[in-house]
Amino acid sequence: MAFNLKNPRNIINNLKSKVGLWSLMKQSHSTCCYSSCLNTIHLHRFLPLTTLPQFTNPESISHKKGHFPHFQRFQSTTTEKQIDSVPNDEHNQVLDFPGGKVVFSPEMRFLSESPSVYSQCYRVLDDAGQLISHSNFVPVSEEVAVKMYSNMVTLQTLDTVFYEAQRQGRISFYVTSIGEEAINIASAAALTSDDIVFPQYREPGVLLWRGFTLQEFANQCFGNKADYGKGRQMPIHYGSNKLNYFTVSSTIATQIPHAVGAAYSLKMDKKDACAVTYFGDGGTSEGDFHAAMNFAAVTESPVIFICRNNGWAISTPTSDQFRSDGIAVRGQAYGVRSIRVDGNDALAMYSAVRSARQMAVNEHRPILIEAVTYRVGHHSTSDDSTKYRPADEIEWWRMARDPVTRFRKWIEINGWWGSEAESQLRSSIRSQLLHAIQIAERAEKPPVNDLFTDVYDNIPSNLREQEKLLKETINRHPKDYPADVPI
């Protein structure tokens, strides 16, 4: 930026009063001319990350509930001298820029494209279900632990039964959560019912934990009259207003910025709650993810981003998606506190999400959790994953890294579970599911006119015309349409 310094003192004073850009310009002569070099600069600064608490100590910074934190990152400061820097004044300044400190250096050095040390992955239980020595985790009571395990088994059984139903032609589509049960249930257990969930399509366990019944799951998959979506959504596109669970949308990553907007609303209303959004590694390749991360960081919204890094975006491996050290490092780039967690370790997931929620709500900040796991099942019933990945790899993750088995071993070690309880649980859940399917399958379907409702208060004429044409077409070609759908 160039200035015509015909009246330099007035110009500088005017700028100083309006934008606080300069606090002092050193005089080089006894006249009113000023040197072009600045000895002291006043700029708004970003709070250095070094002053923030470590993730393992979420209580070290706290704010009163219902009150916003002070925006200290906009505090005015002066430039500082680097320690052990060269004596040249042009090389030893630390500039307080509006986005953080800028340290000047005479050395030309590019940032490496990859870190020398990769991000650690937080883990509490080893593969045998044993506590790792010196583990730092949030204690879980026997009651909560048994409920978590029961829900993990229920989710596993739910996937098995509905997958079989799809293969029998009884429902049109299904997506399993096999191998990701710990992420579903443990994260749900760490949240409260007031927290608003924006799922992708592989988080039915969160609904299960919150009280969605097996009959409600069956009603949605069969699209009957009891389905809250009135049969207008594909199977597994669940939603529950009562349980603060937004309806699933197939479009990838669109729920992520929605979650940030909801979180900002919770902050403005001073609610003791946060928003939580789930997505896969493929979702981080969408622009919605990056826009949402930046949006959340700048607005300091209480939102938890949970990325299920399961290795595959349908048939695309993570190696073909990005070159960064996973997902967690992306949070740091946007100024979002982040952690990488073993997604197959239910105790680690519970601890990480519980701590993340405390920070998000009490400190009004976004948190990114990268849950490292593996999609053991096919992407969906429309996919055959053995076409693009080896079957023995899938089998190894199914047997050696199963999150349900690992957590069972831990509760058995604690004396909270046994083989008799295991047998009764699995038998009971399967029986309940088969009964729910029979009821859902026999239930009446929603009428055709439901396709045109719930968007407009008064249905416009063009939709009325479409409804009329559809009904006429069904009457002319009844064999081409389901006979059990009321016209």
- Known catalytic residues are 164, 250, 379-380
Closest by CA to 137, choosing from 304, 406, 355, 338, is 355
Helix (H, G, I), strand (E, B) or coil at 94: strand
Three-state DSSP state, 368: strand
Exposure of 353 by Cβ count < 10 A (0-12 exposed, 13-18 middle, 19+ buried)? buried
Determine contact, residues 179/346, Cβ cutoff 8 Å.
no
H or E stretch at 426: helix 419-442
CA–CA separation, 124 and 385 (whole Å) = 30
CA-CA-CA-CA torsion sign (29, 32, 35, 38): positive
Angle subtended at Cα 94 by Cα 10 and Cα 84, rounded to the nearest 5 degrees: 135
- Please tell me the distance from the alpha carbon of residue 16 to that of residue 27, in angstroms, as a whole number: 16
For 434-473, b/e burial (b = at least 16 CB within 10 A) is: eebbeebeebebbeeebeeeeeeeeeeeeeeeebeebeee
HSE of 86 in the Cβ direction (CA atoms, 13 Å)?
A: 9
Phi-psi region of 418 (alpha: psi -120 to 50; beta: other; left: phi over 0): beta
